[in-house]
Structure 1
Amino acid sequence: MRGTGALILAIACFVTANEFGVTELMYFGILLVAVIVASVASLYLSRRSDVVTRSLTPDVATVGRESLVSVTVGVRTALPTPPGVWQDVLPKGLRGKAEGVFPALGSGLRRSDRVVELSYVVTGAKRGVHPIGPLSVQSTDPFGLARRRTTFGQRTLVTVAPALVDLPPLTDFAGESGGTLHTTTNQLGQGADNLVARPYAPGDSMRRIHWRATAHRDELMVRQEEQESTPEASVVLDRGALRWATEALQAPGGDPGFEAAVSACVSAVARLVHDGYAVEVLDSDGAVLAERIDGGDMTEVEVLLSHFATLTARRDDSLGRLPRLFAGIMTGPVVVITGRLDASDADVLTPIVHHSTLPMLFSVSPVGNALDRAADAGWRVGAIDPEGDLAAVWAGAVGRGVSHVLG
């Protein structure tokens, strides 16, 4: 470094001047020391930062997708400052190049503070909530003799949601599974006036109000036919500890198999909601993992993604009790996503087939002929590989009954 060399040279000048009586070397050494002191002083007196804030676009990062990080640095300085190099510390849950040139600033005597805007792009790498920061700025004095690294301790927590895969629609199966695509087609040409209206009851959606009938009867009326044809679907994510690696219990992102299952779960929900289904998201023990999402409400799907950012496996196992949740009812698509699955598990799940218009079973770690056994019982099945193509597995399960797509 130049500063170290200048200091060594100054000391050498003092020693030589003392030994040989060369007064000029003494003056030169004093000049070098003065320049070094001035260089260090210019760095420590010229820049000070009080506030560092960050924002993401979109607000929630997603595994495998890019997000823009905007950094605002509030700077106070009385003296002009040279440019520097900034770097933001990224956690393991994010990938990117968080560094760049910090701009030079003029004198702040007229304005007490300045705002410096920085930005960089990150890609979600690991599900969870991760801290970005601290931000550091390395500056060099105008002579290049001294260097200072300033660290600003503010950190920002960033939510990284599970990967969302765009799955093929169930268009070809709308009639079988009760989808709104089929319902809408059947109602074309009928018109709203042909729908049967009934009085409004607490709990009815305001979107089902029949305004013409309401005006005629002078009381709120709802479309009876529309309510009865509302399609429903269920997505079940089995979080039982026996199905997953131990890491799935500890923190998000530890077990690749569980991460693939969580991604499959949110992707299936997004597909079904987009296709118009009212979707409930459950654990295999019946616990509600997300409130019912109405068909077409993609905003609630975004909320689901944020909620699933911290989801982990649980210690008990209850896959065998899952059929009880569907006993005595008939529903639309039922998507079950689990980890380890053997033949006995497939047999236990068989009763669900008779209560769903489109039963779909996906396993990350199928054992032996478990999936073939489930397919024989009526499930549309798929083997999920953490490195494979989830969209192909989904399409294969729906179209052919059995799909094994590996990476």
Structure 2
Amino acid sequence: MKRLWPLTARGTGALALAIGCFVLANELGVVELMYFGMLLLAVLAAGWVSLHLVRRTDRVTRSLSPDVGTVGRPSTVVARVGVRSPFATAPGTWEDGLPKGVSGIARGSFPAIGSGFIGTEKIVELEYTITSARRGVHSLGPLTVTSTDPFLLTRRRTVFSDHAKITIAPAVIELSPLTNLLGDAGGTLHSHTNHLGQGADNLVARPYVPGDSMRRIHWRASAHRGDLMVRQEEQESTPDAVVVLDRGVLRFTGDAMSATGADPGFEAAVSVAISVITRLVHDGYAVDVIDSDGTPLADRIDGNDMTAVEDVRTRFAMLTARRDDSLQRLPKLFHGVVTGPVVLVVGRLDRADAEALGPIVHHSSLPLLFAVAPTPDALDRAHDAGWHAASIGPDSDVAVAWSTAVERGVSRAFR
């Protein structure tokens, strides 16, 4: 930070006038000019003393509204400066430090503070708006206040080293609903073997518990037992969905692993993933969120639990890529299970990847695949394998890509 010239324009003029008075007093022999020059210097010295020798205790706290920001959306920052000063202070200016990737006008006028006792603290609120272009955790600060003496002759720059961490979550894109599939997308994950050989003659009934649907009551078994019984194999539960976000850095760039917000392709993938999660949970699906190596990226989210979605969005604010590439091994995770929609979000996708991912299609009622950087023939091969695939590059219209893939998948599901 540049060293601040301690005098204002008025103070600089007063200093120049004092020097001029000394020169003229010496040349013309006018003693009064000497006295006037000394008076100006005395006023400058008094102003400097009022700024530097009067002790002031200050503290800075910041708050962000909303508590978690969103990429591309404005957020309001309120900085509260606590000031204790026995003397009145003149107005000044302030400026808050903004990190790279965060824009806004974080400066303004600092109001005058009236005199008060040492123990009395006065709070000055400074408000400004920021917009972040990068996901992640950013640091605001330091706050710089430039104050002047009551005569507006001298000035002092005070730098408050307090920093505040703010969290910027990925952008959520509004996607069209999947309400047409509710009830038809499959129940909770279940094994193929649990259904093999079951027919009308080997129904399994269990005692009724509160919360069971009346449509599941097995009236014949209930009459035989004297208690309400329900059909075990016809359990109705919140339909399941799985969202897979492949974080393999080899399918993005090295920047995706080093820092959040550094790789546009990875940012697009993260934004699409959280948008899909938001859409599915809002539509009533219970969603499992995993990496392509099977690592859970969040706890299981129950249908309509939007609070949990916000928690996941906050966690995604700090998500980066990982070193291993396990995308082609993903089908092993679905061996022996059947679920509802499976939404796979990847970076680079080639023909070999599309062929390797083909078996997952048979374990999902609605297999959706979105690739940031697919090769020309990769999406065609994915379509041939049964995926409803689309490209979601940084410049793509994700909402249109989602609608197109979903409509294609729904039409196939109801053939």
Tell me the residue number matched to 1:79.
87
Which has the larger displacement, 75-84 or 34-43? 34-43
2:64 is the alignment partner of 1:56: yes
Change (3 A) 1:45 1:80: farther
User: How far off is 1:2 after superposition?
Assistant: 2.3
1:343 pairs with one of 320, 340, 351: 351
User: How far off is 1:399 after superposition?
Assistant: 1.8
1:332 partner SS: strand
Task: Work out whether residues 235 and 336 of structure 1, in 8 Å CA contact, stay in contact via their aligned partners in 2.
Answer: yes
What is the correspondence of 1:113-124 to structure 2 with a 5 Å cutoff? 113-124=121-132
> What's the TM-score, normalizing by structure 2?
0.84
2:43 is the alignment partner of 1:11: no
2:285 pairs with one of 268, 277, 280: 277
- Cα distance in 2 between the residues matched to 1:12 and 1:398: 82
2:147 is the alignment partner of 1:139: yes
Task: Work out whether residues 331 and 355 of structure 1, in 8 Å CA contact, stay in contact via their aligned partners in 2.
Answer: yes
2:294 is the alignment partner of 1:286: yes
Task: Work out whether residues 185 and 240 of structure 2, in 8 Å CA contact, stay in contact via their aligned partners in 1.
Answer: no
Tell me the residue number matched to 1:321.
329
For residue 113 of structure 1, what is the amino acid of its counterpart? E
Tell me the residue number matched to 1:399.
407
Tell me the residue number matched to 1:240.
248
For residue 69 of structure 2, what is the amino acid of its counterpart? A
2:362 pairs with one of 342, 351, 354: 354
For residue 165 of structure 1, what is the amino acid of its counterpart? I
Tell me the residue number matched to 1:300.
308
Tell me the residue number matched to 1:96.
104
Task: Work out whether residues 76 and 113 of structure 1, in 8 Å CA contact, stay in contact via their aligned partners in 2.
Answer: yes
For residue 74 of structure 1, what is the amino acid of its counterpart? G
2:375 is the alignment partner of 1:367: yes
- The runs of at least 4 aligned residues of structure 1 exceeding 4 Å deviation read 207-210, 221-227
> What's the TM-score, normalizing by structure 1?
0.85
Change (3 A) 1:175 1:166: same
Tell me the residue number matched to 1:24.
32
- Cα distance in 2 between the residues matched to 1:22 and 1:73: 49
- Cα distance in 2 between the residues matched to 1:148 and 1:387: 47
User: How far off is 1:222 after superposition?
Assistant: 10
- Cα distance in 2 between the residues matched to 1:277 and 1:12: 82
For residue 81 of structure 1, what is the amino acid of its counterpart? T
User: How far off is 1:8 after superposition?
Assistant: 2.2
**Where does structure 1 lack aligned partners over 5 or more consecutive residues?**
181-195, 201-206, 214-220, 402-407
- Cα distance in 2 between the residues matched to 1:225 and 1:37: 90
CA RMSD of aligned residues (A): 2.6
Deviations 1:132-162 (A, max 9, x none): 0111111223333212221111100111111
2:274 is the alignment partner of 1:266: yes
2:116 pairs with one of 108, 114, 119: 108
Tell me the residue number matched to 1:187.
none
Task: Work out whether residues 176 and 358 of structure 1, in 8 Å CA contact, stay in contact via their aligned partners in 2.
Answer: no
Change (3 A) 1:359 1:45: same
- Cα distance in 2 between the residues matched to 1:250 and 1:225: 48
Task: Work out whether residues 360 and 379 of structure 1, in 8 Å CA contact, stay in contact via their aligned partners in 2.
Answer: yes
Tell me the residue number matched to 2:201.
none
- Cα distance in 2 between the residues matched to 1:144 and 1:350: 75
- Cα distance in 2 between the residues matched to 1:227 and 1:253: 43
- Cα distance in 2 between the residues matched to 1:70 and 1:329: 50
Tell me the residue number matched to 1:404.
none
Tell me the residue number matched to 1:379.
387
Task: Work out whether residues 179 and 275 of structure 1, in 8 Å CA contact, stay in contact via their aligned partners in 2.
Answer: no
Change (3 A) 1:381 1:101: same
User: How far off is 1:19 after superposition?
Assistant: 3.3
- Cα distance in 1 between the residues matched to 2:238 and 2:232: 10
Tell me the residue number matched to 2:169.
161
Task: Work out whether residues 137 and 149 of structure 1, in 8 Å CA contact, stay in contact via their aligned partners in 2.
Answer: yes
Which has the larger displacement, 170-179 or 388-397? 170-179
Deviations 1:331-390 (A, max 9, x none): 000000001101110000000000000000000000021101111211111100212321
1:257 partner SS: helix
Change (3 A) 1:264 1:69: same
- Cα distance in 2 between the residues matched to 1:135 and 1:47: 19
For residue 314 of structure 1, what is the amino acid of its counterpart? R
Tell me the residue number matched to 1:405.
none
How many residue pairs were aligned? 373
Task: Work out whether residues 187 and 339 of structure 2, in 8 Å CA contact, stay in contact via their aligned partners in 1.
Answer: no
Change (3 A) 1:223 1:139: farther
- Cα distance in 2 between the residues matched to 1:168 and 1:142: 61
Task: Work out whether residues 63 and 126 of structure 1, in 8 Å CA contact, stay in contact via their aligned partners in 2.
Answer: yes
Task: Work out whether residues 179 and 277 of structure 1, in 8 Å CA contact, stay in contact via their aligned partners in 2.
Answer: no
Deviations 1:86-114 (A, max 9, x none): 11111124222112222211111285211
- Cα distance in 2 between the residues matched to 1:336 and 1:199: 37
Change (3 A) 1:257 1:105: same
> Which of the pair has more CA radius of gyration?
2
Tell me the residue number matched to 2:238.
230
Matched-pair identity in % = 60
Which has the larger displacement, 242-251 or 354-363? 242-251
What is the correspondence of 1:247-258 to structure 2 with a 5 Å cutoff? 247-258=255-266
Tell me the residue number matched to 1:188.
none
For residue 311 of structure 2, what is the amino acid of its counterpart? V
For residue 325 of structure 1, what is the amino acid of its counterpart? L
Tell me the residue number matched to 1:216.
none
Deviations 1:204-223 (A, max 9, x none): xxx9489xx9xxxxxxx999
